[in-house]
């Protein structure tokens, strides 16, 4: 199975000497196995190694057979969105704090990555959202989101009133600080902090979660993955939309924010034995099952 991965792209959180050292070690590890390791130019520049092969991200997508991301979930989000149209599988080595989608511990990267290169891995596809801001029948902003699309008020303004339609049917008008539209992956991010449900990644659904709604009866709702959600701001100053908190756009009165599931998905590779529930226990500090051994 090693032959299945010939060109491997390496990405990492920038401005970190520890990440840089890990990327160099992984690059050497790959070359020792006869594989081609390529870096994004900014990463290669940060590493300070002129001998490293670098390619622009636009060229990495069509050429890479595998991408390895060293960092936290924020680093993974940005790379995953860019590579999803090319179907490049992703491996995440956790160098952050939580690491819901960068699941390989830093100290285990050598054994885990070696197993993946030998063909011993589990695959998991994650849904991606596509958002468009439409102004006077023209698209003025378009971006993808692996976690969530959020429409929110300005920090200098009060609540905003949002009108929501799903598949052309009116759902509600809601006064709140904002509204989160999240994938199952994003259900453990901002949506969870606003009391939204956790959606298993294999569940085909989209969750809508209000942010500090004026009416306590406004609750999160899970919609079919095929839903087309249209949001508009009825009242409120300086509303904004963001995708994964990395791509932003200002909205105006009369703008429409259209959100639907993308035709692309993100392909994650996990070590054999990976358990989503084990990850939740670890990251959310859920209690382990008590011992059933008899007391002395």
3-state secondary structure of 24: helix
Which phi and psi (to 5°) does residue 104 adopt?
-85, 120
Overall size of the chain counted in residues: 296
Indicate the pairing of strand 240-243 with strand 221-224: unpaired
3-state secondary structure of 152: strand
- Which residues make Cβ contacts (< 8 Å) with residue 66, sequence separation at least 6? 5, 7, 8, 9, 88, 89, 90, 91, 116, 269
Q: Do residues 8 and 67 touch, judged by C-beta distance below 8 A?
A: yes
| Active-site residue, selected from the candidate residues 28, 51, 65, 73 | 73
Q: Do residues 135 and 17 touch, judged by C-beta distance below 8 A?
A: no
Q: Residue 106 class from Cβ within 10 Å (0-12 exposed, 13-18 middle, 19+ buried)? A: middle
Does residue 73 have an active-site annotation?
Answer: yes
Which phi and psi (to 5°) does residue 49 adopt?
-115, 110
Task: Output the DSSP codes for 86-139.
Answer: GT--EEEEE-SSS-SS--EEGGGHHHHHHHHHTT-EEEEEEEEEEEEEEETTEE
Active-site residues, by number, are: 73
């Amino acid at each position: 199975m090693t032959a299945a991965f010939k060109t491997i792209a390496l990405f990492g959180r920038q401005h970190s000497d520890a990440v840089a050292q890990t990327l160099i070690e992984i690059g050497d590890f790959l070359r020792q196995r006869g594989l081609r390791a390529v870096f994004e130019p900014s990463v290669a520049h940060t590493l300070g190694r002129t001998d490293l092969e670098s390619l622009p991200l636009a060229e990495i997508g069509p050429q890479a057979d595998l991408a390895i991301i060293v960092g936290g979930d924020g680093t993974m989000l940005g790379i995953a969105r860019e590579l999803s149209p090319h179907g490049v599988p992703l491996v995440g080595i956790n160098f952050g704090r939580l690491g819901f989608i960068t699941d390989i511990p830093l100290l285990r990267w050598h054994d885990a990555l070696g197993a993946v290169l030998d063909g011993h891995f589990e695959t998991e596809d994650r849904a991606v959202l596509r958002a468009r801001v439409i102004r006077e029948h023209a698209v003025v902003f378009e971006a993808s989101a692996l976690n969530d699309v959020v429409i929110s008020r300005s920090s200098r303004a009060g609540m905003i009133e949002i009108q929501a339609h799903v598949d052309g049917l009116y759902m509600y008008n809601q006064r709140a600080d904002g509204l989160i539209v999240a994938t199952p992956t994003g259900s453990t991010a901002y949506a969870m902090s606003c009391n939204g449900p956790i959606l298993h990644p294999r569940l085909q659904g989209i969750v809508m979660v209000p942010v500090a709604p004026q009416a306590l009866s406004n609750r999160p709702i899970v919609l079919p993955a095929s839903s087309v959600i249209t949001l508009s701001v009825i009242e409120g100053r300086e509303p904004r939309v963001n995708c994964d908190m990395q791509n932003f756009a200002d909205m105006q009165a009369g703008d429409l924010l259209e959100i639907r599931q993308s035709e692309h998905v993100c392909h994650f590779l996990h070590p054999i034995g990976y358990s989503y529930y084990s990850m939740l226990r670890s990251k959310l500090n859920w209690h382990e099952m008590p011992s059933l051994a008899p007391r002395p």
